[in-house]
């Protein structure tokens, strides 16, 4: 069983290691979503983490374990939420971080990682080239590569979110988790089902380029084409050599939902207008699934928790989505392409 890589003791240990470096985030009831669902609906606000996403949990835990073992240098190739989280965690633990990026990464993302104190290595013209350089630094220069999801210490860090949910809502019936590489899903589902095996675990992702969904359907990790989507933090593959998150997700998932772009846009707009929250596309999928009425908890069996995983949306994209919704009161025509124009 892949589950044996993680025990509940590991998760409690992870919580102690990250305490004081990662927020214990608020969990708030949403009156509008509660009215919609007919059961209490809560939002777990990872948007308030210092780097704007839950990825700080797994990265901080993995780096804390490394620091205990005397590790001094870490490297990653992520320019998104994981890259920020590694940079922030490294600074908080007093170790060195390098982030490899291609020359095509926008200036603002490069600056954001530098501002967190990481060294930026610009190499080549593609994400693949950046990965190659990160692996080279790991092989030849004494850096430890920190993967974004497929690592037991990362999964244990994300699992602390599951502990917080079951402690705050002991009778939770359904937890809805944005799904990409599956580190978040595997961790939260492990902790939640350890508390109560009857908790229904739903993974939600975008229809455009959902690697974990395609892999679950195929019964093994498969490649999918990466497509532009509003839920950009859910893009990317799960790795053909996936070791942990595929098997754990396969074992723990009760339902997978795929959403189109218009629905994700509605989720972002709802979060802003009704909850006064700025969320990125990846974080809006739970809200969107509930608004679409596709969660199978109807008729209601008990409280639902949606994880608002991150706030890091391009502010121009956000502004355009809100403006478009105000013009038409519907966002059905919004696609990522429209928003770039």
Ligand X SMILES: *Cc1c(COP(=O)(O)O)cnc(C)c1O
322 to 166, 269, 283, 306, 330: CA distances (angstroms) = 33, 6, 16, 22, 10
Q: How many residues does the chain have?
A: 341
Nearest position to ligand X, beta carbon: 310
Nearest residue (CB) to ligand X, 182 versus 267: 182
Nearest residue (CB) to ligand X, 54 versus 329: 54
Closest CA to 42 of 286, 301, 305: 305
Least Å from the CB of residue 149 to ligand X:
4
Pairing of strands 255-259, 27-29: unpaired
3-state helix, strand, coil split of the chain in percent (to 5) is 50, 15, 35
Least Å from the CB of residue 239 to ligand X:
11
Nearest residue (CB) to ligand X, 69 versus 318: 318
Nearest residue (CB) to ligand X, 180 versus 331: 180
Compute the Cα dihedral for 117, 122, 125, 130 and give only its sign. Answer: negative
b/e code 17-55 from CB counts within 10 Å (16+ = b): bbeebbbebebeebeebeebbebbbbbbbbbebebbbbb
Least Å from the CB of residue 233 to ligand X:
4
Other C-beta atoms within 10 Å of 323: how many? 10
Least Å from the CB of residue 291 to ligand X:
18
Distance CA 288, CA 44 (A): 15
Angle 326-332-337 (CA atoms, 0-180°, nearest 5)?
95
Q: What are phi and psi of 271, to 5 degrees?
A: -60, -40
Nearest residue (CB) to ligand X, 129 versus 182: 182
Nearest residue (CB) to ligand X, 102 versus 233: 233
Angle 193-250-239 (CA atoms, 0-180°, nearest 5)?
125
142 to 73, 121, 163, 295, 310: CA distances (angstroms) = 7, 15, 34, 47, 31
Nearest residue (CB) to ligand X, 97 versus 234: 234
Q: Which position has the token pair 């073992």?
A: 69
Angle between helices 81-93 and 107-115 (to 10 degrees): 20
Nearest residue (CB) to ligand X, 23 versus 300: 23
Least Å from the CB of residue 72 to ligand X:
26
Q: Which chain residues interact with ligand X by CB under 6 A?
A: 53, 55, 81, 149, 178-185, 233-234, 280, 282-283, 309-310
Nearest residue (CB) to ligand X, 71 versus 80: 80
| CA of residue 131 relative to chain centroid, distance | 20
Compute the Cα dihedral for 233, 261, 266, 269 and give only its sign. Answer: positive
């Amino acid at each position: 069983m892949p589950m044996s890589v993680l025990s509940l003791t590991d998760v409690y240990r992870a919580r102690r290691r990250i305490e004081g470096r990662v927020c214990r985030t608020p969990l708030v009831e949403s009156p509008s979503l509660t009215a919609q669902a007919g059961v209490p609906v809560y939002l777990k606000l990872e948007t308030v983490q210092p780097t704007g996403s839950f990825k700080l949990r797994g990265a901080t835990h993995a780096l804390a374990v490394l620091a205990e073992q005397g590790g001094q240098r870490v490297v990653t190739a992520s320019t998104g939420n994981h890259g920020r989280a590694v940079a922030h965690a490294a600074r908080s633990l007093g170790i060195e971080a390098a982030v490899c990026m291609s020359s095509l990464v926008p200036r603002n993302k490069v600056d954001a990682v530098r501002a967190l104190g990481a060294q930026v290595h610009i190499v080549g013209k593609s994400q693949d080239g950046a990965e190659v350089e990160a692996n080279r630094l790991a092989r030849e220069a004494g850096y430890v590569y920190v993967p974004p999801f497929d690592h037991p210490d990362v999964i244990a860090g994300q699992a602390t979110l599951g502990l917080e949910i079951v402690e705050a809502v002991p009778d939770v019936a359904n937890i809805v988790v944005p799904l990409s590489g599956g580190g978040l899903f595997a961790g939260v589902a492990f902790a939640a089902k350890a508390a109560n095996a009857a908790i229904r675990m739903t993974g939600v992702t975008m229809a455009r380029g959902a690697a974990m969904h395609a892999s679950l359907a195929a019964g093994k990790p498969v490649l999918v084409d990466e497509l532009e989507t509003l839920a950009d933090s859910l893009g990317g593959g799960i790795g053909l050599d996936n070791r942990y998150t595929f098997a754990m997700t396969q074992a723990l998932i009760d339902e997978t939902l795929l959403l189109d772009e218009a629905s994700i846009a509605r989720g972002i707009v709802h979060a802003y207008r009704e909850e006064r929250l700025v969320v990125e596309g990846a974080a809006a999928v739970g809200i969107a699934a509930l608004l679409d009425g596709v969660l199978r908890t109807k008729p209601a069996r008990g409280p639902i928790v949606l994880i608002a995983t991150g706030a890091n949306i391009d502010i121009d994209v956000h502004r355009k989505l809100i403006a478009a919704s105000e013009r038409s009161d519907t966002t059905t025509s919004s696609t990522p392409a429209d928003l770039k124009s």
